[in-house]
Amino acid sequence: MIADKVIVTVPVTGSFGDRNTPFLPITPKEIAESALDAKRAGASVAHIHVRDVETGAPSMEFKLYKEVVDRIRDKSDMLINLSTGPGARFVPDDKDPIGLGPGSTLCIPQRRVEHVLRLKPELCSLDVGSMNFGAHVFVNILSHVETMLGLILDAGIRPELEVFDVGHIEIANHLLKTTKIPSPPLFQLCMGVSWGIPASAKNMILMKEALPSGAVWAAFGVGASCFPMVAQSVLLGGHIRVGMEDNLYIKKGERAETNRELVEKAVRIVRALDKEPAEPEEVRNLLKIG
């Protein structure tokens, strides 16, 4: 029964860190193989960012996404969840308050979803709100989010609504009322990111209670909060996300060498709470993905 199952998403590599960070997957081959290895440990969904193969910097290159997706699809039935977060970073020009400084990646919403529309994964992330995000601003203007969502839905792709604070859930609820997001809606509670909602049991309960009735939801905490939030999410009836985008350590002071290690530890927690990781086909059935 799906009630006894937990969806495990592995975010293989994010938008931070580079070749100077040991073990982080960088090339399409490394990213795909790391995702496939994590599946063997219990992950059923791979959340994918891509990086420049020379510098390790975040990239939006279609050919990199395509190679990762092709490699995973060739060898696995795991669900693919492509990121649409790149293209939303704003760093101001200190000499011009309306100018873009080094590190800004702002682009039109159509560009942010181009790879998704062409590759047609089962899922893609959709960040619904703006926020201070570390040293930059993560810009998700409502009209841009609505444009992206419309394109995603028209392509038959299920959006994963990523929320970094309680106010973002209100934006998501607005989108649920004004668009044709399929039921059940899928949420990802993103916790512990500077400067979003702190990762704590109390705050996860607060966010869960703000979700619409019937929503399927998962949660994650970054860094040291990773595994405590795994346990908390399972206890509250949610699903989990664990991988090197969010956390580079298997335990205090010890770096994880693979995404598989992180997933294996999370699965041990899941099983200690008398549940099992869901298989890809069970996830498709739960989310009504044909």
Give the chain's domains with CATH numbers. 2-287 (3.20.20.70)
CA angle 194, 197, 200 (to 5 degrees): 110
Cα–Cα distance list, 40 to 8, 44, 77, 181 (Å)? 12, 9, 12, 31
Confidence of residue 101 (pLDDT cuts 50, 70, 90): confident
Whether pLDDT at 1 is above 60:
no
Residue 143, sorted as left (phi over 0), alpha (psi -120 to 50) or beta, turns out to be alpha
DSSP state of 230: H
Residue 89's DSSP bridge partners are 138
Q: Which amino acid is at 209?
A: E
Mapped onto helix, strand or coil, the DSSP state of residue 226 is: helix
Whether pLDDT at 100 is above 50:
yes
Helices 28-41 + 259-272 axis angle, to 10: 20
Q: How far apart are the first and last CA of the chain?
A: 19
Scanning the structure block, which residue is given the tokens 């993905």? 289
Mean pLDDT along residues 194-211: 97
Q: What is the pLDDT of residue 20?
A: 61
Percent of the chain with pLDDT over 90: 87
Confidence of residue 136 (pLDDT cuts 50, 70, 90): confident
Residue 263 and residue 29 in contact, taking contact as beta carbons nearer than 8 Å: no
Report which of 225, 216, 279 is spatially closest to residue 252, judged by C-alpha positions. 225
For residues 12 and 16, the model is more confident at: 12
Using one digit for the tens of pLDDT, what is the confidence trace for 63-94?
999 999 999 999 999 999 999 999 988 888 88
Q: How many CB atoms lie within 10 A of CB 87?
A: 21
Residue 190's DSSP bridge partners are 220
Q: Which of 18-27, 36-45, 67-76, 124-133 has the lowest mean pLDDT?
A: 18-27
For residues 55 and 135, the model is more confident at: 55
Mean pLDDT along residues 35-62: 96
Q: What is the pLDDT of residue 74?
A: 98
How high is the mean pLDDT of the chain? Answer: 95
Using one digit for the tens of pLDDT, what is the confidence trace for 152-199?
999 999 999 999 999 999 999 999 999 999 999 999 999 999 899 999
Residue 85 backbone phi and psi in degrees, to 5: -70, -40
Q: How many CB atoms lie within 10 A of CB 19?
A: 14
Whether pLDDT at 120 is above 50:
yes
Confidence of residue 19 (pLDDT cuts 50, 70, 90): low
Q: Tokens in use for 39?
A: 């599946």
Q: What is the pLDDT of residue 210?
A: 97
Who's near 92: CB < 8 A, 6+ residues apart?
99, 100, 101
